[in-house]
Structure 1
Amino acid sequence: MLQITVPKSNILLPEYSGALLEGVTYNKSNNSLLWVEIEGATLHRYFFDTAEHQVLSSNLPGDSFGTLGLTTNDDKVVLGNRTGVVAADFSTQEITPIVSYPPNSRTRSNDGKIDPHGNLIVGTMSDFPYETAAEGSVFRLNSRSLKLETWKTNTTIANGLGWSPDLTKFYWTDSGSKQVYVYDYDEKSDQISNEKVFFDVRSITSDPSSAPDGMCVSEKGNIFVAVFNQAAVLKLNSSGEVVTRFNIPAPRITCVTIGGKNGDEMFVTTAGDHGRGTKSEYEGEDLGGHLFWYKLEESESETQFIWGGDV
């Protein structure tokens, strides 16, 4: 296994940090990076060409943002918020409801992605300040009919997901189980089957607070997994073997994507401390809450899809 240390000088925006960053997404259309700050219910966009940092905030008390998906309009994204899915528009600063989850005052949106058919797959989990329990679900929101279908129930922390480049495999994470799962994916029917364990974080650590978090699948079929409380992003091959460990100067790594104009830049979100977990396997200055980037040796662009409905 190759080990690479990302220096603390690789903070993308030194003047910015948040409590719990997630959902990092690169938009090649306008060379921008987007992410959410969950607890602050803010959506962020940074333009590399102009260094402009835009922020869109929810006006709903107690709201949170868990994930985002790109649309055909660069100014508009779909967002998982505390109670459902909304559309957010940077040009107007407006947030418009799309659909509500089945009523549950204890849960909120967490990670999600747009699927190959343009639908949104999004998971929920226990909201703050409740202790995490097996009360989450994973939903598929049809982008054209806006029908919300339940795919999984009784999940703990529905997290990173993605599809193999040939669209024959689907990956999904339940952080509470410490595992990333792989399924057979039928592109025609948009259905999954044959659940198997793809990666178990306990294969690299005995720390009970460590868990796989957000992830992305590259166009080369490699899987990049953010590992919470391990200060690391792991690059796995399609067999689930750890090829490279990227050591990040922040213990709580939440999400990762690969983008940039040449598809060779890794972007990583992290979380601040706030008493989450331990640092038993982390040494060094804690820069949690910052965004990090790293230049890869070759192109590994994330396999990415766009919302298929109206915006």
Structure 2
Amino acid sequence: MINFIDESPKNILTARARLGEGPCWHLQKQLLYWVDIYNHRVHEFNSTTGEQKFFDVGEVVGCIAPAKTNRLIMALRHRLAFLDTSNGEVTPIIDVETEKPSDIRLNDGKCDPAGRFWFGSMSTSGSRARLFRYDPDGSLHVVLTGLTVSNGLGWSPDQKTFYLTDSPTKKIYAFDFDVASGDINNQRVFAAIDIDSGVPDGLTVDRDGCIWSAIWDGWCVVKFDPTGTEMARISMPVQRPTCCVFGNQDLATLYITTASVGLSEEEIQKSFYSGDLFSLATNTSGMPTYEFAG
């Protein structure tokens, strides 16, 4: 039986992002970082003071992950780069997917427990997207092909399972994961989304191994138990939740990014706070955001 969580997420930042995405909690700095993909911005939010600022990185930014104290690693449209959060300087690392620039761009990503940066691409012309892994030694690996929109990824608390979403298929997949080598195998469907018109977007994993998936066009975040059974739905006041992450000292606050891109005027009136940042106090806690080890 699905439990509908009554407590509503709080609107904590009037951001009006076009495509808010990829939140990550910097444990050392106790700050939330997230991106506004089409506005080329990396946001920094202090949940204690309410202060926020952003860095304009000059191009589409699909995702970010912590990489030492004052540095983030980013997947831009067709390349990886570092962002220095002390001065906003962007330092290119490596080009990716440059052979298909018109219909492919980089999308969601995170670091694994060993400090490797995993990120995927998205395609507007069929199953041409891929999943990549960038290792601290500077090597780039194609991990998976045949994807459409590589999205929502994470790892189980015991580090034995890797999760990946291919949004248009409405499926979240699970893989066996070898933390020592970074290899994945034994792909299977973890959960299939049955919400009308809604598709799974970004996700996060809690300490109990439950998966929290933001449902684009579904007005909610869905919580699955470790077997893939839906446990609960968090109703959102906006149509397009995009991703979530646990943060704060106890990692018990769920932060949720949202989008306004593509909504009609009528839809915006029904979903007025689209693009804002939300939070929800929970009775669980999440896994820490892993940092890039390079």
Residue 108 of structure 1 aligns with an amino acid whose one-letter code is R
1:186 to 178, 182, 186: 178
1:216 to 183, 200, 204: 204
2:168 maps to 1:176:
yes
For 2:44 and 2:208, the matched residues in 1 are separated by 26
Deviates more, 1:41-50 or 1:156-165: 41-50
For 1:215 and 1:283, the matched residues in 2 are separated by 27
Residue 83 of structure 1 aligns with an amino acid whose one-letter code is H
For 1:173 and 1:285, the matched residues in 2 are separated by 25
For 2:127 and 2:6, the matched residues in 1 are separated by 35
Give 1:263-302 correspondences, 5 Å limit: 263-275=251-263, 284-296=270-282, 298-302=283-287
RMSD: 2.0
Asked if the contact 2:27–2:289 (Cα under 8 Å) also holds between the matched residues in 1, the reply is no
2:74 maps to 1:88:
no
Asked if the contact 1:118–1:307 (Cα under 8 Å) also holds between the matched residues in 2, the reply is yes
Residues 271-291 of structure 1: per-residue CA shift (max 9 Å, x gap): 104248x97xx9954421111
2:60 maps to 1:54:
no
- Report the equivalent of 2:121: 124
Asked if the contact 2:239–2:271 (Cα under 8 Å) also holds between the matched residues in 1, the reply is no
- How far off its partner does 1:140 sit? 0.6
Q: Cα 1:39–1:5, aligned 2, differ >3 Å: closer, same or farther?
A: farther
* Partner-residue secondary structure (3-state), 1:176: helix
Q: Cα 1:4–1:132, aligned 2, differ >3 Å: closer, same or farther?
A: farther
- Return the TM-score normalized by structure 1: 0.88
Asked if the contact 1:6–1:249 (Cα under 8 Å) also holds between the matched residues in 2, the reply is no
Asked if the contact 2:45–2:51 (Cα under 8 Å) also holds between the matched residues in 1, the reply is yes
- Return the TM-score normalized by structure 2: 0.93
- Report the equivalent of 1:4: 5
- Report the equivalent of 2:159: 167
For 2:263 and 2:233, the matched residues in 1 are separated by 25
Residue 190 of structure 1 aligns with an amino acid whose one-letter code is G
2:290 maps to 1:305:
yes
- Report the equivalent of 2:250: 262
How many equivalent pairs are there?
290
Asked if the contact 1:6–1:248 (Cα under 8 Å) also holds between the matched residues in 2, the reply is no
- Report the equivalent of 2:128: 135
- How far off its partner does 1:87 sit? 0.2
- How far off its partner does 1:299 sit? 3.1
- How far off its partner does 1:303 sit? 4.2
Give 1:228-239 correspondences, 5 Å limit: 228-239=216-227
Residues 125-176 of structure 1: per-residue CA shift (max 9 Å, x gap): 13xxxx45322111111122x1111112231110001111111111110002
2:93 maps to 1:101:
no
- The gaps in structure 1 that reach 5 residues or longer are none
Asked if the contact 1:5–1:248 (Cα under 8 Å) also holds between the matched residues in 2, the reply is no
